Structure 1
């Protein structure tokens, strides 16, 4: 058998990649109008980011069930659970509770990221598992991928972030007051302000500059996400393709998904990178 990798739905892994690499996906939750909707399972309104909705992580019970099934499928070889940053969601804490119940054969890895920033960590682990690596090696590959990851996002408004508490109130007020289009990045698992820019066009240009500077000529995997802005995502993907001929795989372009969309709002465009080590 082989080690099995589990992640959560915020990772935005395309279904074909999850299936190809045998990655199991646990849904997170969207709470709206008295309903508890499971991301990727239940039908979620397309305009969820405009509604008075909230999000919730997977519960320890849900995660424990997923890990037990994965552990059985692994034939006892083990499970590596890669989840959204502990600084952004309670899912990591719930995952650790679940893993503690099942013993050392289940190891939780904090991706310190979100969306495909998490997905790329899960994929690195799954590729290692597919090659026949043992649990310790798969965990090591996942943690190495955490250090290679970089994620950025341009948001068109800060109302959603302010409501969700994902960025400081002072920064939100400043952005609204000056009509800025901030470039945000994930730094050690936290969403922080990378640059204040006057227009969305300039913010995207700044994001592309940072992407190019980080990747250089190194082999890189790239994902582009958006919230109700497919044209903007395609433009960003095209620009990255021109700038980074060292992309080792086709650029992934997907919606950011309802859980994360609730926090960043319509128009947002983000980029996640998995950059090869320079050594």
Structure 2
């Protein structure tokens, strides 16, 4: 590619996919049992979920600033322009760190073109954007046009998801502990989405069947040209639920292109096992 695409593990794309498509990678950090692991690289999502089911505490932190500087420096030496599509700044400090590291690298390599985009997306919502950016870069889309197109994809990416246990979101400060307690006592299955990069509760439902039904309704209300899209589904070690949602989407909308993957350790540590997430565009984008 004439343009380097950079992603972090907040995109929940399999490491093998990133390698196959020559996407540079910045892993977020997963802390488990006193050891730091690189998300998707030195720890598998399944290990994280197994630990959480045992009651072990899993913590996370942003991508390592030193490794980030090493990567940006390598890209600067390579000479090709680069675009880093970052995990939402509302959910991680990685974007802010990247902006500071960028300035340091540009002092040494002032002619290097490096655009850092705050995607305000998460999981496969970000992953679909990264995959599209890689595809367009391989097709030779000019740099400025590619930056604008990526920004548009980020702006119009819908995130609809549910979690099995609100306690995990509460531990990470993503929702209030009071909300988590009420949800757990009543066996409520919450639906959430992302607004301006933040997790926002939509509504509360009882039972997985009602959750599926409401996800499809929201998809119908918000989606645009769904049959032409790649639909993203990510899951917290619950592939069966992801495949069932896929089946219902196929039957309801006639969609034929899907990207299904596990939620990585960095996001899974906050969302928990049993999370199910759906991603699609709310506006058709010509690219």
TM norm structure 2: 0.88
Aligned-pair CA distance for 1:90: 1.0
Residue matched to 1:42:
42
Contact 2:249–2:255 at 8 Å: present in 1 too?
no
Task: String of CA shifts for 1:135-157, please: whole Å, max 9, x gaps.
Answer: 32221121011122011111111
Alignment of 1:132-147 (within 5 A): 132-147=140-155
Residue matched to 1:273:
280
Structure 1: tracts of 5 or more residues without a match? none
Alignment of 1:30-69 (within 5 A): 30-44=30-44, 45-46=47-48, 47-50=50-53, 51-69=56-74
Residue matched to 2:100:
97
TM norm structure 1: 0.91
Q: Secondary structure at the match of 1:182?
A: strand
Task: String of CA shifts for 1:112-148, please: whole Å, max 9, x gaps.
Answer: 1111111122223222322223332221121011122
Structure 2: tracts of 5 or more residues without a match? 107-111
Q: Secondary structure at the match of 2:205?
A: coil
Aligned-pair CA distance for 1:246: 4.5
Once residues 77 and 149 of structure 2 are traced to their aligned partners in structure 1, the CA distance between those partners, rounded to angstroms, is 22
Contact 2:62–2:93 at 8 Å: present in 1 too?
yes
Residue matched to 2:109:
none
Q: 1:49 to 1:186 in 2, by over 3 A?
A: farther
Matched, 1:150 2:158: yes
Once residues 278 and 69 of structure 1 are traced to their aligned partners in structure 2, the CA distance between those partners, rounded to angstroms, is 32
Q: Which of 184, 200, 214 is the equivalent residue of 1:206? A: 214
Contact 2:86–2:117 at 8 Å: present in 1 too?
yes
Alignment of 1:65-214 (within 5 A): 65-73=70-78, 76-103=79-106, 105-214=113-222
Task: String of CA shifts for 1:232-277, please: whole Å, max 9, x gaps.
Answer: 1110111112222255xx3111111111111111211111224552
Aligned-pair CA distance for 1:171: 2.5
Q: 1:211 to 1:117 in 2, by over 3 A?
A: same
Residue matched to 1:256:
263
Once residues 52 and 77 of structure 2 are traced to their aligned partners in structure 1, the CA distance between those partners, rounded to angstroms, is 37
Contact 1:120–1:274 at 8 Å: present in 2 too?
no
Task: String of CA shifts for 1:89-110, please: whole Å, max 9, x gaps.
Answer: 1111111111122236111111
Once residues 20 and 100 of structure 2 are traced to their aligned partners in structure 1, the CA distance between those partners, rounded to angstroms, is 29
Once residues 272 and 98 of structure 1 are traced to their aligned partners in structure 2, the CA distance between those partners, rounded to angstroms, is 30
Aligned-pair CA distance for 1:16: 5.0
